[in-house]
Structure 1
Amino acid sequence: MAVENTRRHIRGFLSLDLCKELEFIHRTCGVVGYRPNVFSTTLSHLAATNCAHLILPFVAVREKLKEKVEDFFGCEFELFIEFTGLISWCRGASIGWHSDDNRPYLKQRDFAAVCYLNSHGKDFKGGVFRFKDGDPSSVIPIAGDVLIYTADDRNVHSVDEVLEGERLTLTVWFTRNSAHDEDAKLISLLSQRFSDHEKGKSYSFSPLPASDNMYWFSNGMSGFDIRCARIQNLGFRICSSKHQQFSTSDMAVDPLELLNMPIRLARGDEIFDMEFLNSLHGLQVVQFCHLKLSDLIASRKKQDGDAESTEPHLLDKVNGLELVLPCDHQLAEKVLGSMSCDDEALSFSWVAFKLAVTRWEEYMFSLYKDLLMLIPHWVFHQTIFLAPTTEQLSCNQFPGFEEPLQNKLQR
């Protein structure tokens, strides 16, 4: 096969709404990755941290990518998905010339698909994808574009160093070897969730953190917790709950363990008087509010005449309730870039944030309900797909995201 037939750059494959939804998932669930200055979110990690419902936004795009790869490379019905993950490359991240199957434990990989979720020049600088030979010789990441290529030495490639910001991709690898089928492993994890539901066990939508070291970005003697950094990067501060207040001299408590306990969120000197189960719970709501702030403000204006609309209860002063955490804020901003902006600071309101809490709960419940409908089909067929019997899902608008799941792909 000639080099030019081993790769294809497809423009506008994903809708921008889907790109934003996957970005939301990564910024709320991501952990320290496999390379320096890289963060990742895998589907198995979502399942393991009580976020299995967040796998649903991946389902349609995985199917569509598999169809596109099989069609382009002439291997219809031969492939299995070996790995699905959200990967962000931050300032300082890069990789030299390599092929995606260049290790003995990676030889099962036959094809790769890299979906760009944000754009070069707008969201980050650097991070250009380059091939050693053939055409195209380089690909400038643009949100919605997809690059597919063979994983062997016909497509040796590199990624330039990211100079600023966070370069975000959805990366999927495909294999002909069924022993490396990602779906089988995921279905085993998800079937337990369905079993718990049938037994009547209660379910919380709040995420459960993994071990603290998975969130710790180390840089010599300094570092930061990615959960803490992403919350603070959007202008919020983390405070203790009403019932758990610790002094800075309380050495019996590991500061990072406080992020796994109930917290409250503050902005300026005001504390939002609601407890979040843990920092990941708070982070999901903060990121949801950031993503949908303009819509939340518009919804708030529509509710201004509603007599039942109430102002959120705030505590006037932080008064020493802020948690003292080992987080190098300057390093975090250097690595992750700055997400908050003056316009958002001016337009932010606690009323909109309170509405974000409700909309987040509605979104999570909708995903969980749909997941329960799909799991029996996945278990029966031993593959993850949008079951034909659940076409009604395409008519449901996920609260907070405008498009139905299937329509988020540009066909």
Structure 2
Amino acid sequence: MAEAKEEEHPRLVLRNFLTLHQCKELEFIHKSNSTVGYRANVFSTTLSHLIATNSPHLLMPFVPIRESLKEKVEEFFGCEYELCIEFTGLISWCRGASIGWHSDDNRPYLKQRAFAAVCYLNSYGKDFKGGLFHFQDGELTTVEPLAGDVVIYTADSRNIHSVDEITDGERLTLTLWFSRDASHDEDAKLVSLLSQSLLHNNVPGECLPLLASSNMYWFSPDQTSHHQLGFDICWARLHILGFDVYSYQDRSSDSDFSELLMNPLQLARGNELLNHEFVNILHALQVVQFSTWKASDLQTSKVTIDSGKVVVVQLSQGQREKMNCLKSVFLKDPQLAEMIFSCMTINVSRWLFFDWADFISAVALWEDYASKLREELVRSLPYWRTHQSIFEVPYDGC
């Protein structure tokens, strides 16, 4: 396919490149770790952010996808062994987000960018409205995002593009940028960060996340308003799924409240409080999003749980008042949160017939999932250090 270089607008669409499982897994990772993005109503999860928040094991699902995409880009554009991956990130576009006509290298500091690959993790019309991808010129002018599809194109003026405004739902993508300039290779930087991360946290099976700066999780419709308007992203995503957050610790002023999210807390739903402690709100969010991803598995294959571990109590008036007080601090605008993170495909039956036993099963499954990914990461890291590159390491099971 080297002839693509001679085309006026070299680009390629790969249908069903990602499996549904891969799409859902990356959706889980993004919705349980995302921070405020690079433009209005956009949220992002980078690989370096996952490492910084003690979730480096969540890089593992990206590894085979990155390799396959790099091979496809090099094959299509006839530049085998010439490219490095400059950036890998999950990006979601929510209601109101859009982008006008531009090319990916139209800013001076991005001149090293050669190619882009955008992988769609959910579908237009089913999961979100708006958000069509348009090329300004060429035969293929409009791309309708469908889960599993990938669009690959040169990141220059030959492929000027735009994205329509999102009018409902959340449009999810995995985006990779490629460069011929090895000084912009993200792999070497990630390997260094991973080495430092595992050096400082070498406890086997330790996969509990740590929060970044609270400013990274605060969404406001007016960026100059700081915490006067808007909401904490983690709290808002829990709210959308029907959960409230309860902290039994006391704080005396708003300036201290942000510390509460970094400390142990519990989850509530309706008038019920689950007597299970999470180390922080990011830990709680990862488990909740995991349970949403694995909902069908939890229904068909129960994990054996000691009934004594599933303790649900009725919220007291004092607990409810305290919970509502915290909610007024971290979710100042519930309607805005519901509009931004609206979901077009809510499972109504799961919402109405929520089962705490299923949720506790999800806690156990999440711990097993994270532990296996961490084992894979620890096994792979010595090879990555040697080659200063992230790739799939064969495992013989020994």
Deviations 1:9-64 (A, max 9, x none): 11000000000000000000000000000000000000101010000000000000
TM-superposed CA distance for 1:292, in Å, is 1.1
Q: Which residue of 2 aligns with 1:382?
A: 388
Deviating more after overlay: 25-34 vs 219-228: 219-228
Q: Do the aligned residues in 1 keep the contact of 2:41 with 2:93 (CA within 8 Å)?
A: yes
1:47 equivalent to 2:51? Answer yes
Aligned equivalents of 2:392, 2:337: Cα separation in 1 = 38
Q: Structure 1, unaligned stretches of length 5 or more? A: 394-411
Aligned equivalents of 1:89, 1:383: Cα separation in 2 = 30
Deviations 1:238-266 (A, max 9, x none): 0013xx145xxx22653333211111000
Given candidates 225, 231, 239, the residue that maps to 2:232 is 225
Q: Which AA in structure 1 matches 2:236?
A: A
Q: Do the aligned residues in 1 keep the contact of 2:92 with 2:172 (CA within 8 Å)?
A: yes
Aligned equivalents of 2:255, 2:198: Cα separation in 1 = 36
1:234 equivalent to 2:241? Answer yes
Q: Which residue of 2 aligns with 1:279?
A: 281
Q: Which residue of 1 aligns with 2:183?
A: 179
Q: Do the aligned residues in 1 keep the contact of 2:205 with 2:375 (CA within 8 Å)?
A: no
Q: Which residue of 1 aligns with 2:266?
A: 264
Aligned equivalents of 1:252, 1:133: Cα separation in 2 = 52
TM-superposed CA distance for 1:342, in Å, is 2.3
1:316 equivalent to 2:314? Answer yes
Q: Do the aligned residues in 2 keep the contact of 1:270 with 1:314 (CA within 8 Å)?
A: yes
TM-superposed CA distance for 1:297, in Å, is 2.2
1:153 equivalent to 2:160? Answer no
Q: Do the aligned residues in 2 keep the contact of 1:4 with 1:135 (CA within 8 Å)?
A: no
Q: Which AA in structure 2 matches 1:313?
A: V
Change (3 A) 1:332 1:369: same
The alignment's TM-score, normalised by the length of structure 1, stands at: 0.89
% identity of equivalent residues? 56
Aligned equivalents of 2:291, 2:203: Cα separation in 1 = 30
Q: Which residue of 2 aligns with 1:24?
A: 28
Aligned with 2:317: secondary structure? coil
Q: In angstroms, what is the RMSD of aligned CA positions? A: 1.9
Q: Do the aligned residues in 1 keep the contact of 2:17 with 2:148 (CA within 8 Å)?
A: yes
Deviations 1:209-233 (A, max 9, x none): 0000100111235211100000111
Deviations 1:331-384 (A, max 9, x none): 011111147542112332000011011000000100111100000000001100
Q: Structure 2, unaligned stretches of length 5 or more? A: 223-227
Given candidates 194, 197, 204, the residue that maps to 1:193 is 197
Deviating more after overlay: 252-261 vs 163-172: 252-261
1:362 equivalent to 2:371? Answer no
Aligned with 1:86: secondary structure? strand
Aligned equivalents of 1:252, 1:159: Cα separation in 2 = 38
1:98 equivalent to 2:81? Answer no
TM-superposed CA distance for 1:204, in Å, is 2.9
> What is the number of residues matched between the two proteins?
381
Aligned with 1:274: secondary structure? coil
Aligned equivalents of 2:143, 2:346: Cα separation in 1 = 28
Q: Which residue of 2 aligns with 1:404?
A: none
Given candidates 343, 346, 349, the residue that maps to 2:349 is 343
1:194-209 superposed matches below 5 A = 194-196=198-200, 201=203, 204-209=206-211
Q: Which residue of 2 aligns with 1:290?
A: 292
Q: Which AA in structure 2 matches 1:112?
A: A
TM-superposed CA distance for 1:2, in Å, is 4.4
Aligned equivalents of 2:364, 2:205: Cα separation in 1 = 17
Q: Do the aligned residues in 2 keep the contact of 1:266 with 1:318 (CA within 8 Å)?
A: no
Aligned equivalents of 2:370, 2:15: Cα separation in 1 = 30
Deviating more after overlay: 322-331 vs 226-235: 322-331
The alignment's TM-score, normalised by the length of structure 2, stands at: 0.91
Deviations 1:309-341 (A, max 9, x none): 556011222533213333111001111114754
TM-superposed CA distance for 1:299, in Å, is 2.1
Aligned equivalents of 1:318, 1:75: Cα separation in 2 = 65
TM-superposed CA distance for 1:86, in Å, is 0.2
Q: Which residue of 1 aligns with 2:148?
A: 144
Aligned equivalents of 1:231, 1:150: Cα separation in 2 = 38
Aligned equivalents of 2:132, 2:85: Cα separation in 1 = 25
Aligned equivalents of 2:396, 2:96: Cα separation in 1 = 44
Change (3 A) 1:336 1:319: same
